[in-house]
Protein backbone atom coordinates (compact mmCIF):
# COMPACT_ATOMS: atom_id res chain seq x y z
CA UNK A 1 0.00 0.00 0.00
CA UNK A 2 1.43 3.36 -1.02
CA UNK A 3 1.67 6.08 1.62
CA UNK A 4 2.22 9.82 1.46
CA UNK A 5 2.83 12.47 4.13
CA UNK A 6 1.13 15.88 3.96
CA UNK A 7 1.83 18.48 6.66
CA UNK A 8 2.95 15.74 9.02
CA UNK A 9 -0.14 13.57 8.41
CA UNK A 10 0.61 10.11 7.04
CA UNK A 11 -1.99 8.91 4.54
CA UNK A 12 -2.48 5.44 3.10
CA UNK A 13 -3.51 5.79 -0.54
CA UNK A 14 -6.14 3.71 -2.30
CA UNK A 15 -5.07 1.60 -5.26
CA UNK A 16 -6.14 2.29 -8.84
CA UNK A 17 -8.62 -0.07 -10.45
CA UNK A 18 -8.17 -2.26 -13.49
CA UNK A 19 -11.49 -3.23 -14.99
CA UNK A 20 -12.26 -5.71 -17.74
CA UNK A 21 -14.42 -3.24 -19.67
CA UNK A 22 -14.39 -2.37 -23.38
CA UNK A 23 -16.28 0.51 -24.95
CA UNK A 24 -17.93 -0.64 -28.17
CA UNK A 25 -19.11 1.86 -30.79
CA UNK A 26 -20.32 5.43 -30.29
CA UNK A 27 -16.83 6.92 -30.64
CA UNK A 28 -18.41 10.38 -30.66
CA UNK A 29 -19.41 10.01 -27.00
CA UNK A 30 -15.86 9.03 -26.11
CA UNK A 31 -14.50 12.10 -27.90
CA UNK A 32 -17.02 14.36 -26.13
CA UNK A 33 -15.80 13.14 -22.74
CA UNK A 34 -12.13 13.50 -23.66
CA UNK A 35 -12.78 17.02 -24.96
CA UNK A 36 -14.35 17.97 -21.63
CA UNK A 37 -11.10 17.04 -19.88
CA UNK A 38 -8.84 19.04 -22.21
CA UNK A 39 -6.90 22.06 -20.95
CA UNK A 40 -6.18 24.37 -23.88
CA UNK A 41 -4.49 27.30 -22.13
CA UNK A 42 -2.62 28.05 -18.91
CA UNK A 43 -5.68 29.99 -17.77
CA UNK A 44 -8.04 27.14 -18.64
CA UNK A 45 -9.19 24.29 -16.40
CA UNK A 46 -10.85 20.94 -17.18
CA UNK A 47 -14.58 20.39 -16.97
CA UNK A 48 -16.10 17.94 -14.49
CA UNK A 49 -18.47 16.13 -16.87
CA UNK A 50 -21.41 13.95 -15.92
CA UNK A 51 -22.65 10.92 -17.83
CA UNK A 52 -26.40 10.46 -17.60
CA UNK A 53 -28.54 7.54 -18.73
CA UNK A 54 -30.53 4.54 -17.64
CA UNK A 55 -28.85 1.74 -15.69
CA UNK A 56 -26.88 -0.62 -17.89
CA UNK A 57 -26.29 1.64 -20.92
CA UNK A 58 -22.52 1.75 -20.34
CA UNK A 59 -21.81 4.95 -18.41
CA UNK A 60 -19.09 3.42 -16.25
CA UNK A 61 -17.64 1.61 -19.26
CA UNK A 62 -17.46 4.86 -21.22
CA UNK A 63 -15.84 6.68 -18.28
CA UNK A 64 -13.24 3.93 -17.85
CA UNK A 65 -12.47 3.77 -21.57
CA UNK A 66 -11.91 7.53 -21.72
CA UNK A 67 -9.76 7.47 -18.58
CA UNK A 68 -7.52 4.75 -19.97
CA UNK A 69 -7.02 6.83 -23.13
CA UNK A 70 -5.29 9.40 -20.92
CA UNK A 71 -2.81 6.75 -19.76
CA UNK A 72 -3.27 7.76 -16.13
CA UNK A 73 -4.26 5.69 -13.07
CA UNK A 74 -8.01 5.21 -12.78
CA UNK A 75 -9.87 5.23 -9.46
CA UNK A 76 -13.49 4.36 -8.75
CA UNK A 77 -15.73 5.59 -5.94
CA UNK A 78 -19.16 3.97 -5.66
CA UNK A 79 -21.56 6.54 -4.21
CA UNK A 80 -24.41 5.41 -1.98
CA UNK A 81 -27.21 7.08 -0.06
CA UNK A 82 -25.18 6.93 3.17
CA UNK A 83 -21.90 8.25 1.74
CA UNK A 84 -20.42 10.71 4.25
CA UNK A 85 -18.00 13.58 3.57
CA UNK A 86 -15.22 11.71 5.36
CA UNK A 87 -15.87 8.67 3.13
CA UNK A 88 -15.18 10.91 0.14
CA UNK A 89 -12.03 12.45 1.58
CA UNK A 90 -10.04 10.95 4.50
CA UNK A 91 -11.21 8.31 6.95
CA UNK A 92 -9.63 7.51 10.34
CA UNK A 93 -8.89 3.84 10.90
CA UNK A 94 -7.57 1.93 13.88
CA UNK A 95 -4.00 0.74 13.30
CA UNK A 96 -1.66 -1.54 15.24
CA UNK A 97 -1.69 -1.10 19.02
CA UNK A 98 -4.89 0.96 18.77
CA UNK A 99 -3.20 3.87 17.04
CA UNK A 100 -5.25 6.12 14.76
CA UNK A 101 -4.19 6.11 11.11
CA UNK A 102 -5.68 7.82 8.08
CA UNK A 103 -6.84 6.34 4.79
CA UNK A 104 -7.23 8.55 1.75
CA UNK A 105 -10.31 7.79 -0.33
CA UNK A 106 -10.03 6.80 -3.97
CA UNK A 107 -10.98 10.40 -4.81
CA UNK A 108 -8.19 11.95 -2.74
CA UNK A 109 -5.77 9.30 -4.00
CA UNK A 110 -6.62 10.25 -7.59
CA UNK A 111 -6.18 13.94 -6.71
CA UNK A 112 -2.72 13.34 -5.26
CA UNK A 113 -1.53 11.01 -8.03
CA UNK A 114 -2.92 12.98 -10.97
CA UNK A 115 -5.29 10.19 -11.85
CA UNK A 116 -8.89 9.97 -13.05
CA UNK A 117 -11.74 9.50 -10.58
CA UNK A 118 -15.00 7.89 -11.68
CA UNK A 119 -17.66 8.94 -9.17
CA UNK A 120 -20.20 6.25 -9.91
CA UNK A 121 -23.94 6.88 -9.40
CA UNK A 122 -23.26 10.31 -7.95
CA UNK A 123 -26.90 11.26 -7.62
CA UNK A 124 -27.31 8.65 -4.87
CA UNK A 125 -25.37 10.97 -2.55
CA UNK A 126 -26.92 13.48 -0.17
CA UNK A 127 -26.35 17.24 -0.33
CA UNK A 128 -24.03 17.06 2.69
CA UNK A 129 -21.70 14.72 0.81
CA UNK A 130 -21.82 16.88 -2.32
CA UNK A 131 -21.08 20.03 -0.31
CA UNK A 132 -17.69 18.61 0.68
CA UNK A 133 -16.76 18.45 -3.02
CA UNK A 134 -17.84 21.98 -3.96
CA UNK A 135 -14.33 23.53 -3.80
CA UNK A 136 -12.88 20.65 -5.82
CA UNK A 137 -15.36 21.20 -8.63
CA UNK A 138 -14.65 24.89 -9.20
CA UNK A 139 -11.51 27.02 -9.66
CA UNK A 140 -10.24 26.18 -6.18
CA UNK A 141 -9.59 22.51 -6.99
CA UNK A 142 -9.12 21.27 -3.42
CA UNK A 143 -10.93 19.40 -0.68
CA UNK A 144 -10.77 19.94 3.06
CA UNK A 145 -10.69 17.10 5.58
CA UNK A 146 -12.55 17.80 8.80
CA UNK A 147 -11.00 14.66 10.29
CA UNK A 148 -7.36 15.76 9.81
CA UNK A 149 -7.65 19.50 9.21
CA UNK A 150 -5.80 19.08 5.92
CA UNK A 151 -6.52 21.03 2.76
CA UNK A 152 -5.65 18.72 -0.13
CA UNK A 153 -5.04 20.35 -3.53
CA UNK A 154 -5.65 18.44 -6.75
CA UNK A 155 -2.73 17.59 -9.01
CA UNK A 156 -2.90 19.50 -12.30
CA UNK A 157 -3.50 16.21 -14.16
CA UNK A 158 -6.41 15.15 -11.95
CA UNK A 159 -9.71 14.58 -13.76
CA UNK A 160 -13.15 13.55 -12.54
CA UNK A 161 -16.29 12.23 -14.20
CA UNK A 162 -19.64 11.60 -12.50
CA UNK A 163 -22.08 8.95 -13.67
CA UNK A 164 -25.78 9.33 -12.90
CA UNK A 165 -28.65 6.90 -13.38
CA UNK A 166 -32.02 8.04 -14.61
CA UNK A 167 -34.19 6.31 -12.03
CA UNK A 168 -36.35 7.19 -9.08
CA UNK A 169 -34.02 6.00 -6.30
CA UNK A 170 -31.80 9.08 -6.38
CA UNK A 171 -31.44 12.48 -4.74
CA UNK A 172 -31.85 15.76 -6.56
CA UNK A 173 -28.45 17.36 -7.12
CA UNK A 174 -28.12 20.81 -5.46
CA UNK A 175 -28.10 23.60 -8.03
CA UNK A 176 -24.69 24.88 -6.92
CA UNK A 177 -23.29 21.41 -7.62
CA UNK A 178 -25.30 20.92 -10.79
CA UNK A 179 -23.57 23.94 -12.34
CA UNK A 180 -20.17 22.51 -11.38
CA UNK A 181 -20.58 19.11 -13.07
CA UNK A 182 -20.86 20.04 -16.71
CA UNK A 183 -21.14 19.27 -19.56
CA UNK A 184 -23.84 16.61 -19.45
CA UNK A 185 -23.29 13.73 -21.86
CA UNK A 186 -26.39 11.60 -22.33
CA UNK A 187 -26.17 7.90 -23.13
CA UNK A 188 -29.11 6.15 -24.76
CA UNK A 189 -29.68 2.58 -25.84
CA UNK A 190 -27.44 1.56 -28.77
CA UNK A 191 -28.68 0.72 -32.24
CA UNK A 192 -29.03 -2.95 -33.17
CA UNK A 193 -25.63 -3.27 -34.88
CA UNK A 194 -23.83 -1.69 -31.92
CA UNK A 195 -25.76 -3.81 -29.45
CA UNK A 196 -24.78 -6.94 -31.36
CA UNK A 197 -21.12 -5.87 -31.19
CA UNK A 198 -21.43 -5.41 -27.42
CA UNK A 199 -22.85 -8.89 -26.97
CA UNK A 200 -20.18 -10.40 -29.23
CA UNK A 201 -17.44 -8.66 -27.26
CA UNK A 202 -18.76 -9.97 -23.95
CA UNK A 203 -19.81 -13.43 -25.15
CA UNK A 204 -17.31 -14.44 -27.88
CA UNK A 205 -18.15 -18.11 -27.21
CA UNK A 206 -21.89 -17.71 -27.86
CA UNK A 207 -23.52 -18.86 -31.15
CA UNK A 208 -24.36 -15.99 -33.47
CA UNK A 209 -27.97 -17.17 -33.66
CA UNK A 210 -28.38 -16.68 -29.91
CA UNK A 211 -26.82 -13.22 -29.92
CA UNK A 212 -28.93 -11.97 -32.82
CA UNK A 213 -32.11 -13.29 -31.29
CA UNK A 214 -31.35 -11.61 -27.94
CA UNK A 215 -30.57 -8.32 -29.70
CA UNK A 216 -33.98 -8.55 -31.35
CA UNK A 217 -35.58 -8.89 -27.91
CA UNK A 218 -33.70 -5.85 -26.65
CA UNK A 219 -34.53 -3.72 -29.66
CA UNK A 220 -38.25 -4.48 -29.38
CA UNK A 221 -38.06 -3.61 -25.69
CA UNK A 222 -36.26 -0.33 -26.46
CA UNK A 223 -39.05 0.55 -28.88
CA UNK A 224 -41.55 0.07 -26.06
CA UNK A 225 -39.45 2.28 -23.75
CA UNK A 226 -38.60 -0.58 -21.42
CA UNK A 227 -35.51 -0.13 -19.22
CA UNK A 228 -33.82 -3.33 -20.44
CA UNK A 229 -30.17 -2.72 -21.41
CA UNK A 230 -27.35 -4.57 -23.13
CA UNK A 231 -26.23 -5.84 -19.75
CA UNK A 232 -29.59 -7.62 -19.45
CA UNK A 233 -29.11 -9.11 -22.90
CA UNK A 234 -25.68 -10.42 -21.94
CA UNK A 235 -27.20 -12.08 -18.87
CA UNK A 236 -30.05 -13.58 -20.89
CA UNK A 237 -27.69 -15.09 -23.44
CA UNK A 238 -25.27 -16.32 -20.79
CA UNK A 239 -28.01 -17.99 -18.75
CA UNK A 240 -29.50 -19.61 -21.85
CA UNK A 241 -26.08 -21.03 -22.70
CA UNK A 242 -25.63 -22.36 -19.17
CA UNK A 243 -29.09 -23.90 -19.10
CA UNK A 244 -28.51 -25.52 -22.47
CA UNK A 245 -25.20 -26.94 -21.27
CA UNK A 246 -26.71 -28.25 -18.03
CA UNK A 247 -29.68 -29.90 -19.76
CA UNK A 248 -27.91 -31.04 -22.93
CA UNK A 249 -30.30 -28.98 -25.08
CA UNK A 250 -29.81 -26.24 -27.71
CA UNK A 251 -29.43 -22.83 -26.00
CA UNK A 252 -32.04 -21.32 -28.34
CA UNK A 253 -34.63 -23.50 -26.58
CA UNK A 254 -33.68 -21.94 -23.25
CA UNK A 255 -33.98 -18.26 -24.18
CA UNK A 256 -37.61 -17.89 -23.07
CA UNK A 257 -36.73 -19.36 -19.68
CA UNK A 258 -33.69 -17.10 -19.43
CA UNK A 259 -35.75 -14.01 -20.29
CA UNK A 260 -38.30 -14.85 -17.62
CA UNK A 261 -35.64 -15.53 -14.97
CA UNK A 262 -33.59 -12.41 -15.76
CA UNK A 263 -36.26 -9.82 -16.59
CA UNK A 264 -39.52 -11.29 -15.36
CA UNK A 265 -42.60 -12.79 -16.98
CA UNK A 266 -43.71 -9.47 -18.52
CA UNK A 267 -40.59 -9.45 -20.71
CA UNK A 268 -41.79 -12.55 -22.55
CA UNK A 269 -43.89 -10.20 -24.67
CA UNK A 270 -40.72 -9.19 -26.53
CA UNK A 271 -39.78 -12.65 -27.72
CA UNK A 272 -39.67 -12.69 -31.49
CA UNK A 273 -40.80 -15.24 -34.01
Q: Within this chain, do residues 15 and 70 fall inside the same structural domain, yes or no?
A: yes
Of 197, 232, 196, the closest CA to residue 215 belongs to: 196
Distance between terminal CA atoms of the chain?
Answer: 55
pTM of the complete model: 0.90
Contact present, 111 and 125 (Cβ < 8 Å): no
Q: What is the CATH number of the domain that holds 146?
A: 3.40.50.300
| CA pair distance 5, 78, nearest whole angstrom | 26
pLDDT at residue number 169: 61
Reply yes or no: is the peptide bond before residue 183 cis, omega within 30 of 0. Answer: yes
Q: Within this chain, do residues 51 and 177 fall inside the same structural domain, yes or no?
A: yes
| CA pair distance 15, 79, nearest whole angstrom | 17
Please count the structural domains in the chain.
2
Q: Within this chain, do residues 111 and 241 fall inside the same structural domain, yes or no?
A: no
pLDDT at residue number 124: 92
Which of 184, 200, 217 is the last residue in one of the domains?
Answer: 184
Q: Within this chain, do residues 167 and 237 fall inside the same structural domain, yes or no?
A: no
Q: Within this chain, do residues 120 and 19 fall inside the same structural domain, yes or no?
A: yes
Q: Within this chain, do residues 175 and 229 fall inside the same structural domain, yes or no?
A: no
pLDDT at residue number 21: 80
Residue 171 is part of which domain span?
A: 3-184
Q: Within this chain, do residues 228 and 247 fall inside the same structural domain, yes or no?
A: yes
Q: pLDDT tens digits, the chain, 273 residues: what are they?
A: 799 999 999 999 999 999 888 888 788 999 999 999 999 999 999 999 999 999 889 999 999 999 999 999 999 999 999 999 999 999 998 877 777 889 999 999 999 999 999 999 999 999 999 999 999 999 999 999 999 999 999 999 999 999 998 875 667 888 999 999 999 999 999 999 999 999 999 999 999 999 999 999 999 999 999 999 999 999 999 999 999 999 999 999 999 999 999 999 999 999 987
Q: Within this chain, do residues 174 and 254 fall inside the same structural domain, yes or no?
A: no
Amino acid sequence: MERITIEGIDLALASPVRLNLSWIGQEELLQQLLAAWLVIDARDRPFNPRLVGRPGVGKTTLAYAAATRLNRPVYLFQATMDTRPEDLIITPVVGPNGSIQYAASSLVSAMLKGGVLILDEGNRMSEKAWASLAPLLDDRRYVESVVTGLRVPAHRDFRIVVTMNEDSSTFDIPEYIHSRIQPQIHLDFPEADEELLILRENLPFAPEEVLRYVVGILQRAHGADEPFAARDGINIARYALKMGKALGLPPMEQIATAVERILGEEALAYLGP
